[in-house]
């Protein structure tokens, strides 16, 4: 049996008529950039979050740095985040010419550890950038408290957790901006690149709208800006898919529960945990081998048995060759949890369209390796 890592084409086939209808509508409308379909999707996305504004942009990375720039974050300013995230979180800080400050992650959730943040704050600190890694929210209540005390912006990197919730808080409720990616592999993904900023702040909405469109609010009138818009064809795909996101996230939760129930007695790896009261939407189901030297053998074993397991992210940002490429960066305190996560992580196949047979095959092979592992 072969178990793929993604189910994009299956997902397309399952709701083909809904996607095709929206794409057809865009194609026939003659409006492909900043047209009515984008407008409609932005309203739907804002409503889904229970927030005032959503602004479609070119990708999730742009969503982050456009938000930073719109908030006035720039040279000399420090933004605190983690190194065990996708590279783009730090890259966006550097695109804004700010300084990336890295603190350790929580060993249970792999999201930023709020207890490490205050020691990293300096008079130059402007923002906290928690990443809702793998589909589970960071501890936003603790993060908000620190931000209030030190008067900092909070920008949520929500590329991986659309539809997740915390214990008594929603995504967006405790921050200035939520930045989302719609690249195909995300829980809500289009057939290519896309992103959005979601916010309750009128000033941020206005600034990001202006910046994404060549600094323009009115035809022929410009200030300095960029070109980073979500195309209407992508908005049409996303509008069709948004109606299914909760049901798809529920399926991810179902497959995760099956993995967890059957793998819980493994001797050589630990399983992801859901913080009580949270809704984890399992963008990724990431296990960690107990020892770093076990990771590649397990990955190899699964791959050789037809299971497309992967690693997210095996080389933490500060471990990348050439780091920090002349950009401003600082590691605040030891970061053993982020480094352990990078060294030991393996992502098992996780997408809504998995079949019970595929999930059981992954379980069987993972346990087979576990029995024989040194």
Residue from 67, 84, 89, 187 touching ligand PLP (CB under 6 A): that is 89
Count CB neighbours of 169 within 10 A: 17
Using rule CB under 6 A, residue 284 touches ligand PLP: no
Task: Report the candidate in 127, 74, 134 with the shortest Cα–Cα distance to residue 328.
Answer: 74
Using rule CB under 6 A, residue 57 touches ligand PLP: no
Distance, first Cα to last Cα, the chain = 26
Nearer to ligand PLP, 58 or 166 (CB): 58
Using rule CB under 6 A, residue 155 touches ligand PLP: no
- Coil vs helix vs strand at 5: coil
Using rule CB under 6 A, residue 88 touches ligand PLP: yes
Q: Which residue has the tokens 């492909």?
A: 32
Q: Smallest distance from the beta carbon of 126 to ligand PLP, in angstroms?
A: 19
Using rule CB under 6 A, residue 157 touches ligand PLP: yes
Nearer to ligand PLP, 138 or 263 (CB): 138
Which residue stretch of 3-11, 156-164, 211-219, 265-273 sits at the interface with ligand PLP (rule: CB under 6 A)?
156-164
**What are 268's two structure tokens?**
């050589």
On whether the CB atoms of residues 283 and 161 are closer than 8 A, the answer is: yes
Nearer to ligand PLP, 301 or 313 (CB): 313
Residue from 22, 61, 187, 338 touching ligand PLP (CB under 6 A): that is 61
Using rule CB under 6 A, residue 60 touches ligand PLP: yes
Task: Report the candidate in 136, 132, 131, 102 with the shortest Cα–Cα distance to residue 117.
Answer: 102
- Return the H-helix or E-strand segment holding 198: strand 195-199
User: Total residues at the site for ligand PLP (CB under 6 A)?
Assistant: 15
Using rule CB under 6 A, residue 156 touches ligand PLP: no
- Return the H-helix or E-strand segment holding 234: helix 232-242
Cβ contacts of 49 within 8 Å, gap of 6 or more: 170, 171, 172, 178, 198
Using rule CB under 6 A, residue 159 touches ligand PLP: yes
Using alpha carbons, list the distances in angstroms from residue 357 to 3, 187, 363: 10, 22, 10
Task: Report the candidate in 221, 225, 195, 198 with the shortest Cα–Cα distance to residue 210.
Answer: 225
Residues 97-136, one symbol each (x = binds ligand PLP by CB under 6 A, - = not), give ----------------------------------x-----
Residue number of the CB closest to ligand PLP reads: 60
Using rule CB under 6 A, residue 187 touches ligand PLP: no
Using rule CB under 6 A, residue 195 touches ligand PLP: yes
Considering only CA atoms, give the Rg of the chain: 21
Using alpha carbons, list the distances in angstroms from residue 267 to 48, 288, 371, 373: 41, 11, 8, 9
- Return the H-helix or E-strand segment holding 10: helix 8-14
Using rule CB under 6 A, residue 85 touches ligand PLP: yes
Q: Smallest distance from the beta carbon of 64 to ligand PLP, in angstroms?
A: 6
Using alpha carbons, list the distances in angstroms from residue 24 to 27, 29, 118: 5, 8, 51
Using rule CB under 6 A, residue 231 touches ligand PLP: no
Q: Smallest distance from the beta carbon of 43 to ligand PLP, in angstroms?
A: 21
Residue from 11, 83, 109, 160 touching ligand PLP (CB under 6 A): that is 160
Which residue stretch of 10-18, 57-65, 75-83, 111-119 sits at the interface with ligand PLP (rule: CB under 6 A)?
57-65
Phi, psi of 218 (to 5 degrees): -140, 140
- Coil vs helix vs strand at 344: helix
d(CA 78, CA 257): 39
Q: Smallest distance from the beta carbon of 137 to ligand PLP, in angstroms?
A: 13
Using rule CB under 6 A, residue 59 touches ligand PLP: yes
Residue from 181, 213, 239, 256 touching ligand PLP (CB under 6 A): that is 181
Which residue stretch of 6-14, 34-42, 83-91, 114-122 sits at the interface with ligand PLP (rule: CB under 6 A)?
83-91
Q: Which residues form the interface with ligand PLP (CB under 6 A)?
A: 59-61, 85-86, 88-89, 131, 157, 159-160, 181, 183, 193, 195
């Amino acid at each position: 049996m072969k178990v793929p890592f993604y189910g994009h084409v299956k997902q397309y086939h399952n709701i083909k008529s809904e996607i095709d209808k929206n794409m057809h509508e865009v194609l026939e409308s003659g409006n492909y950039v900043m047209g009515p379909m984008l407008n409609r999707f932005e309203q739907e996305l804002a409503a889904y979050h229970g927030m005032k504004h959503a602004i479609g942009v070119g990708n999730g990375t742009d969503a982050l740095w456009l938000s930073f720039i719109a908030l006035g974050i720039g040279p000399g300013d420090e933004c605190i985040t983690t190194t065990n995230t996708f590279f783009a979180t730090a890259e966006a800080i550097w695109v804004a010419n700010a300084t990336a400050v890295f603190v350790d992650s929580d060993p249970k959730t792999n999201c930023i550890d709020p207890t490490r943040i205050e020691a990293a704050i300096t008079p130059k600190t402007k923002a906290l950038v928690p990443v809702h890694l793998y589909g589970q929210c960071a501890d936003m209540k603790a993060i908000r408290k620190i931000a209030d005390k030190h008067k900092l912006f909070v920008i949520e990197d929500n590329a991986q957790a659309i539809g997740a919730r915390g214990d008594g808080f929603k995504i967006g409720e405790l921050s200035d901006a939520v930045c989302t990616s719609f690249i195909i592999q995300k829980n809500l993904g289009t057939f290519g690149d896309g992103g959005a900023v979601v916010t309750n702040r009128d000033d941020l909405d206005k600034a990001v709208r202006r910046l994404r469109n060549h600094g323009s609010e009115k035809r022929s009138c410009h200030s300095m800006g960029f070109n980073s818009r979500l195309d209407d064809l992508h908005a049409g795909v996303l509008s069709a898919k948004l109606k299914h996101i909760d049901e798809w996230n529920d399926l991810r939760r179902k497959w995760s529960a099956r993995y967890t129930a059957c793998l819980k007695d493994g001797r050589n790896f630990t399983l992801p945990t859901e913080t009580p009261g949270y809704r984890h939407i399992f963008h990724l189901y990431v296990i960690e081998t107990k020892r770093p030297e076990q990771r590649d053998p397990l990955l190899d074993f699964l791959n050789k048995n037809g299971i497309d397991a992967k690693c997210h992210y095996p080389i933490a940002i500060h471990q990348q060759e050439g780091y920090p490429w002349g950009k401003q960066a600082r590691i605040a305190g030891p970061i053993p949890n982020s480094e352990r996560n990078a060294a030991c992580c393996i992502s098992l196949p996780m997408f809504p369209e998995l079949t019970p047979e595929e999930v059981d095959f992954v379980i069987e092979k993972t346990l087979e390796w576990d029995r024989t592992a040194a």
